[in-house]
Amino acid sequence: MATDLTTELEAAAFRRLLAHLQQHTDVQNIDLMIHGDFCRNCLAKWYAAEAANRGVDLDYEQARTVVYGMPYSEWKDQYQAEATVEQLAAYQAKQQAKAQK
């Protein structure tokens, strides 16, 4: 497959991932961290890092706006719930398991 086509497909898949996450606001970042070992903030950090690697002036908050589809503070106010005791325990267990590997 041609490099340009590969890049286009990857970009389209990334846009669909962002749209999917923006539509599924009930899925909390802690859930993504427990099950996928990444969250929306991770995506924003990766996005900002790749922008910086290419000399693009895009800070973390701007990248979070891209990922969340709105400023993070708005998303947090509208959709973020406090992590439950069970979620925090599951996250801690995951972190401990990773540390033991």
Q: What is the pLDDT of residue 2?
A: 83
On average, the pLDDT of the chain sits at 96
Give 101's DSSP letter.
-
- Confidence band of 53 (pLDDT split at 50, 70, 90): very high
Residue-wise pLDDT tens digits, 82-100: 999 999 999 999 999 989 9
The residue-averaged pLDDT of 69-79 equals 97
pTM above 0.85, yes or no: yes
CA-to-CA distance for 22 and 100, rounded, in angstroms? 34
Q: How many alpha carbons fall within 13 Å on the CB side of residue 5?
A: 2
* Residue 1 banded pLDDT, cuts 50, 70, 90: confident
Mean pLDDT of 29-43: 96
Q: Which CATH class is domain 3-100?
A: mainly alpha
